[in-house]
Amino acid sequence: MKNANEKVYRKSVRKIAQGRAIYSFDKIIGKSKNFVSIIEYAKKISDSTSTVLITGESGTGKEVFAQAIHNASSRRDKVFIAVNCGAIPSNLIESELLGYEEGAFTGAKKGGNAGKFEMAHGGTIFLDEIGEMSLETQVRLLRVIEEGVVSRVGGSKQIPVDVRIIAATNKDLQEEVNKGSFRKDLFYRLNVIPLGLPPLRERKEDIPILVDYYMSRISKKLNKKQFNIDNRVMNKFLEYEWPGNIRELENVIELIVNTEKIPDYILKIHKTSVVGNNKAAESSINFESMKLEDVEKNHIIKVLKSFSGNISLAAKAMGIGRNTLYRKMEKYHIDCSEMEQ
C-alpha cells in the first residue's frame, strides 16, 4: 500500500516538475549594455497575454528567457508547458498539441487525451523550434490563436483555452515566410512581441563572468577543483567565436574541469578579422573561404582532430548533439577514421 502511494506521489511530483519553469531573470547572467537592455525589455513584456517570438542561435538562452518571462508574469503559479515542435513526429504533433477523442485513431487511449494547450490552461505554453512545424499544423495553430479554442483530434467540441504563447526558433522566420515554408499570417500572429537574443560573440564582455560562474558551479557539481584560467587563456576565449554560444561555453568549462586542460582548438585560435573595427585586419579576410559552410566544415575538422576523432567529445565541445555532428560530417564528407590515435 505504501508503495502504491509512493508511486502515485512520485508520479504527481514528476508531473509538477514538468509543468514548472525554473529560470528567473535574476539567474540570467550578463552585464553587457545590450544584453542588460534586452533583459529590461523582456521583464517589461512579461506580464501580458501577447504572443512572444524569441529568436537566436542555438545555445543563446531562448528557453531560459521563456521560463524567466513566465516566472515574472502573473501566471507564475500556473503551469509552464514546453513543447519541442522539432522533436515530435509530424503525424503526432496535432494530437500532442490539441489532444484527441477516444477512437480518433488506432491506439488512442480510452476516454481520449488532453493536449498540451488544454494542459497549459491558465499558464504559458512554450512552442520551441516553431520553424520546424509543418504547414498543415501551422493552420491548426493559427486557429487556436485566433479563436482561443481547441478541438481535439476526432472531436467537434470547442474547448476554450486561456494560454500565453511563447514561441522560439533559431531560424530566420521571415526568410522561411519568403521561401513559402512558414505561413505569413501565423508569423505575424506570433511575432507580436519580438525578442532577439544575441550570439555570445556579440557580447564578449560577458565571457569572463560566464566562465567564472560555470567554473564554480561545475567544479562544485563534479566535486573537482577549479581550473585556473589565466589571462592568456581568457584572451583566447575572447577571440574564439563560440558557434554553440553559452551551451558550448558551459560544455567547454565542464571538459576543462574534467581534463584539467584547455582544448587545443581554442588555444590555437589566432585573432582574425572578425573582432572589433580593425581596418587592417578586415582587409585580410580571405574571400575564398567566406562561405559559412566552408567555415563550419573547417571548424568541425579542426575540433575533431583536436579530440583525435572522438565524436562524443567533439560534439560536446561544439555544443551540439552527436546526431547533429554525424549529419554534418555526412553532409561535408568528413571521415574521422584517420584522425584516430
Contacts with ligand ATP by CB under 6 A lie at 28-30, 56, 58-64, 170, 246-247, 250
Minimum CB–partner distance for residue 46 and Mg ion (Å): 19
Q: Which stretch binds Mg ion (CB under 5 A): 61-69, 247-255, 277-285, 324-332?
A: 61-69
Q: Which stretch binds Mg ion (CB under 5 A): 41-49, 62-70, 170-178, 327-335?
A: 62-70
Question: Do 185 and 192 form a contact (C-beta atoms < 8 A)?
Answer: no
Residue type, 119: M
Tell me the three state secondary structure of residue 188: helix
Cα gap 56→30, rounded to integer Å: 16
* Alpha-carbon torsion, ordered 38, 44, 45, 49, to 10 deg: 160
Closest CA to 101 of 118, 84, 85, 121: 118
250 binds, among ligand ATP, Mg ion, none (CB under 5 to 8 A by kind): ligand ATP
145 binds, among Mg ion, ligand ATP, none (CB under 5 to 8 A by kind): none
Minimum CB–partner distance for residue 131 and ligand ATP (Å): 10
Minimum CB–partner distance for residue 245 and Mg ion (Å): 11
Q: How many CB atoms lie within 10 A of CB 84?
A: 14
- Residue with Cβ nearer ligand ATP (44 or 184): 44
Minimum CB–partner distance for residue 129 and Mg ion (Å): 7
Q: Which residue is nearest to ligand ATP (CB)?
A: 61
* Strand ranges, E, within 66-184: 80-84, 99-100, 113-114, 124-128, 149-150, 159-160, 164-169
* Strand ranges, E, within 134-280: 149-150, 159-160, 164-169, 193-196
Instruction: Please select the residue that binds Mg ion; options are 57, 63, 239, 296, rule is CB under 5 A.
Output: 63
64 binds, among ligand ATP, Mg ion, none (CB under 5 to 8 A by kind): ligand ATP
* Alpha-carbon torsion, ordered 273, 302, 215, 238, to 10 deg: -10
Helix count (H) and strand count (E) of the chain? Answer: 16, 9
Asked if 212 touches Mg ion (CB under 5 A), the answer is: no
176 binds, among ligand ATP, Mg ion, none (CB under 5 to 8 A by kind): none
- Residue with Cβ nearer ligand ATP (15 or 27): 27
- Residue with Cβ nearer Mg ion (63 or 239): 63
Q: How many CB atoms lie within 10 A of CB 136?
A: 10
Residues at the interface with Mg ion (CB under 5 A): 63
